[in-house]
Amino acid sequence: MPVPLLTFKVIDKVYQNGTVALQGVNLIVQPGEFISLVGPSGCGKSTVLRLVAGLGTPTGGLMNWHGPNNQRNLAFVFQDPALMPWANVVENVYLPLKLKGQPLRSVRERIQAAINTVDLCGCEKSYPRQLSGGMKMRVSIARALVTTPQILLMDEPFGALDEMTRSRLNSDLLHLWEKKHWTVLFVTHNIYEAVYLSTRVIVMAAHPGRVVANIPIEAAYPRTDSFRTSSQFNYYCREIMAALSEVEGVGVS
């Protein structure tokens, strides 16, 4: 077995008001995996991402990064692309590097490469108001990629988009992942999206937040549109629905 990137060993997270957001969560993340977390509202999906990002600490258990000096190099993509409205695409993608004090001239190539990766070549000078919802999300992904993260944390990134745009961005994201093979932790309420994208789906339950199933999606990549209508796809969707229906508070959309 390769050395994991990150491990959660029996992780608990109890917030100050007493909410048990996570109880006894075990998770091993291998480099290059695309893991989706699905489950009803309040089962602790975002809490897992926040702990990985270092935005809070577990109240029990052990979380280990296996990189040098326990270092983490990660990037977050949220549902809201949160672009600076007064800044163009290049300036928005530059932001994380600017915050690290890197002069623009020294990172221009990296910025351009990230913009090319998300197929926004030609839009460098555009402002957010001139871009569609899907294009704004691509800028947000480019801004995450420009830091070359070891792990990309995505919290319902496509939840606010219409079904067509979501489906196209799912395919685009998968193409990017196949090219670059980053490690992705992806939160979604949508089991079809989870099955289409992931190497593995973690099903969670609420009250307390916990893992109830760990389902490897053993379908070959590249995953084309025909995968979405295949019997294999339906099989995995049914398996996840069955795991969800065994727990209370099922709320998938």
Helices (H), 72-206: 89-99, 104-117, 133-145, 163-180, 191-197
Query: Given the rule CB under 6 A, which of 16-24, 28-36, 134-142, 229-237 is the region that contacts ligand ATP?
Result: 16-24
- Report the nearest approach of ligand ATP to the CB of residue 42 (Å): 4
Query: Given the rule CB under 6 A, which of 34-42, 65-73, 160-168, 234-242 is the region that contacts ligand ATP?
Result: 34-42
- Report the nearest approach of ligand ATP to the CB of residue 155 (Å): 8
Q: How many CB atoms lie within 10 A of CB 112?
A: 16
38 vs 173, beta carbon nearer ligand ATP: 38
- Residue in 17, 69, 71, 231 binding ligand ATP, rule: CB under 6 A: 17
Range 193-212, binding ligand ATP (CB under 6 A): 209
Query: In b/e form, how buried is each residue of 212-248, taking b as 16+ CB within 10 angstroms?
Result: ebebebebeeebeeeebeeeebeebbebbeebbeebe
The interaxial angle of helices 89-99 and 133-145, nearest 10 deg, is 30
Q: Is 42 in the site for ligand ATP (CB under 6 A)?
A: yes
21 vs 141, beta carbon nearer ligand ATP: 21
Q: Are 27 and 168 in contact (CB under 8 A)?
A: no
Binding residues for ligand ATP, rule: CB under 6 A, are 15, 17, 19, 21, 39, 41-47, 209
